[in-house]
Each structure stands twice: as C-alpha cells, then as structure tokens.
Amino acid sequence: MGNPSLRTLAILALILAAAASRVIPHPYNFSPIGAIALFGAACFNRTVLAVLVPLAAVWISDIWLNNFVYNQHYQAFTLFDQGWYWMYGTYAAIAVLGLFTLKRISAPRIIGSSLAASVIFFLVTNLACWPGSAIYPQDAGGLLMCYAAGLPFFSGTLLGDLFYSGVLFGGFALLQQRFPALRAVQAQR
C-alpha cells in the first residue's frame, strides 16, 4: 500500500510544474492544460480533487500570465479573463472525460483521451467566440467561418495535449517505479 499524502504531494507537484511551464515560450495553443485536466482526473481518488485541483492550477497560472506576462493587455489586476467560464467549463469537461476514460491508465487510453480533449477544446472555445462576434456573421455560415479560422491553432492544441500527457503520465509512472510509496491505494471515488 502506498502513502496517499506523499502520492498526493507528488501529483500536485507535477500539476503545478506543468501549469508553471505555461510561461515558457511556445507555439500557439501548445499548452499543458488539457493534459493537466486528464492527469488530475486519472490520479486523484476523489472526484472533487480530480476536477478542482487542475482548475485551480490553471487559474493560478492564468493570474500570473495575465498580470505579469501579458499585463499590457489589461487595465487592472485581472482575476479572470473575459469569457473565463467557457475556458474553465471546457477544462472541467475534459477532467470529467478523464474520470470515465482513464479509470485504468494505459498508453492507448491516454492517447485517445488526449485526442478527445483537443477536440473538445477546439469545439467549445471556437463556439464561444462566435456569438455576438463582429467578425463572423451570426448564422451557420459564420459559425463555420469561426471554426475554419481556428483550424491553424488546432495542431498546437493537439501536440500540446499529447506532449504534456506523455510528460505527466510517463513522468509519474517513472516516479512510481522508483518510489513504490507513490503507487495508488485502492479507493472509491
């Protein structure tokens, strides 16, 4: 049996390190956020932690990015971006996906979940920027134009989700091999 508190600390450290990596220069949409949501969902035994810890890590990194890296774009200290509920709702949906698809962790499940996370992010976030937009007509054609405009960014999302999923899940698997106390204790969600 593993030590749940040591395991939890290791999972938290990996999630926070991944969230902190958002400040490293990277291609558009190449981000750890989808992988963080999936990793938290797969590793925490309690559903509330599986969803809220990744959201909190992303929120903390958003506060840093918005107020210290991209602060020239904001008038005052910013706790939440405009339309934050779409973004965080998407991250929560990805975590819920992970709760179902990653009950048993395997490479094919991680890859499939990462691909699905990328698609969910693409569909929801592009839908979010369409209503009320001055750029896109408010009809089916305008929505399709909005999705078409987002296509060049999809590859960054896809590659980021796959890369960071590999780093988080693979890194944790290596840590569990080296430190058996990090292995899961069987518990109910």
Question: Are 109 and 120 contacting, i.e. CB atoms less than 8 angstroms apart?
Answer: no
- Give 140-185 pLDDT, tens digit per residue: 999 999 999 999 999 999 999 999 999 999 999 999 999 998 988 6
Question: 105: pLDDT confidence band, cut at 50, 70 and 90?
Answer: very high
**Paired tokens of 157:** 């999302």
User: What range does the domain containing 119 cover?
Assistant: 4-182
**Paired tokens of 58:** 């992303």
> In sequence order, which residues have a C-beta less than 8 Å from that of residue 168 and are 6 or more positions away?
14, 15, 18, 32, 35, 36, 39
144 assigned to some structural domain: yes
Residue 74: give its domain's CATH number: 1.10.1760
81 assigned to some structural domain: yes
What amino acid is encoded at 24 in this protein? I
52 assigned to some structural domain: yes
187 assigned to some structural domain: no
Number of domains in the chain: 1
Maximum separation of any 2 CA atoms in the chain, in Å? 58
> Is pLDDT above 90 for 107?
yes
